Structure 1
Amino acid sequence: MLNRFAPLVPLALVSLLFGCAAQMPASQQQSQNPQFKDSVTAQTAAKRADYSASVLDDEIATEDELAQFADNKPYRLPVLADSILERGKSLIGTRYRFGGTSTTSGFDCSGFIGYLFREEAGMSLPRSSREMINIDAPLVKRNDLKPGDLLFFSTAGRGRVSHAGIYLGDDQFIHSSSRRSGGVRVDSLDDAYWARTFIEAKRALAMAPSKVPETTTAMTSTTLKRQHR
């Protein structure tokens, strides 16, 4: 009896194996095909190349934009930033006053920024943070911040700018915070509150005029002398 069915066993095995191959998912069948693997590898490499190229284009566009703002200007941004920030730090503790724009009256956030940029860089910035965020200056990524960059926050919610400060470096920024917190002070962007409310940053110093105020030159010279003592 067994001898009668013996020739049928190989045929049954061949049929079973053919059936499994037919029911195998298309993706699995394709993955076992060397030509398909080579095609997928080539497509993946092409997509990665396209993505890298698009990222590079974005970076080049940003560099070109920054260069455009800096063309034909004999000053160096770090010098202006040092002057602004040194003056700002000398005003730490100055009281907060809504609408304030001077050392005698006190400052609100935009009044403090406007005062420093006017006195140290000869720049006239918009009066409110809502107008200031719209200035025609290069946007700066969070991880590309440089001293002197303007920082904007949405402290009142709904994604609208309601506060601004100036980046110091090392994730620190200076601002006229509020009456309750003591006016002009230094805070960290790493603090949960400021990290959560941060909107964007702009390099306003790229718009500075070619001729800087004499007070800036004097302040910078004084700063450099202190650094070399």
Structure 2
Amino acid sequence: MSAIPSFSSTASRLAVIDAARAWLGTPYVHQASAKGAGCDCLGLVRGVWRDLYGAEPERPPAYTPDWPERHWKRTAGGETLLAAARRNMIERPDKNFEPGDVLVFRVDRAGPAKHCGIVSGEDQFIHAYAGRAVVESWLNRWWRERIAGVFLFPGTEE
């Protein structure tokens, strides 16, 4: 496991939320990460990272929409998205979250983590919704029951 990047600058939780909200309405485009032009859920988090810090800590490999499932079966539980979040962000082990945190989800409770978003309020999060756009959604029971990890952008002030 590599060390979490260190930053000389800090970001407030409000800055994280403001950066995420600037992506609202960006069309869903698989593997993209361009504000206003297109992104997927990972592209949104990558874009907010760039807005906060500049360069990304790592670039994801090319992936297909079903890649997590195929990789999961092949590696008996490989968690690529969670592993990348753990390498580059600060994990909150209690799974309690606050606005500005990044949530990683298992869409299928028994499957791999494959979706992510940014908490924007007590009951809301911002994510790229397949087939639509970046939206702010209600963080309802369905989503809450599928949280696989809660992460804080490094350098974010508590």
TM-score (norm 2): 0.68
Q: Tell me the percent identity.
A: 22
Q: How far apart, CA to CA, are the structure 1 residues paired with 2:37 and 2:9?
A: 35
Q: Unmatched 5+ residue regions in structure 2?
A: 61-79
Which structure dedicates a bigger proportion of its chain to strand? 2
Q: Is the 8 A contact 2:90 2:154 kept in 1?
A: no
- Find 1:185's aligned residue among 135, 139, 142: 135
- Find 2:41's aligned residue among 109, 120, 123: 109
C-alpha displacement of 1:206: 3.3
Q: How far apart, CA to CA, are the structure 2 residues paired with 1:142 and 1:149?
A: 10
2:127 corresponds to 1:175: yes
Q: Is the 8 A contact 2:7 2:154 kept in 1?
A: no
Structure 1 residue ranges, 4+ long, deviating more than 4 angstroms after superposition: 71-74, 125-129
C-alpha displacement of 1:192: 2.6
Q: Unmatched 5+ residue regions in structure 1?
A: 1-68, 209-229
Q: How far apart, CA to CA, are the structure 1 residues paired with 2:149 and 2:114?
A: 12
Q: How far apart, CA to CA, are the structure 2 residues paired with 1:125 and 1:172?
A: 27
How many residues are paired up? 132
C-alpha displacement of 1:157: 4.3
Residue in 2 that maps onto 1:149: 101
Paired residue type of 1:177: Y
Deviations 1:96-117 (A, max 9, x none): 0111110254000001110111
Q: How far apart, CA to CA, are the structure 1 residues paired with 2:52 and 2:124?
A: 20
Over the residues paired in the alignment, what is the CA RMSD in angstroms?
2.9
Q: Is the 8 A contact 1:95 1:107 kept in 2?
A: yes
Q: Is the 8 A contact 1:149 1:205 kept in 2?
A: no
Q: Is the 8 A contact 2:25 2:133 kept in 1?
A: yes
Which structure dedicates a bigger proportion of its chain to helix? 1
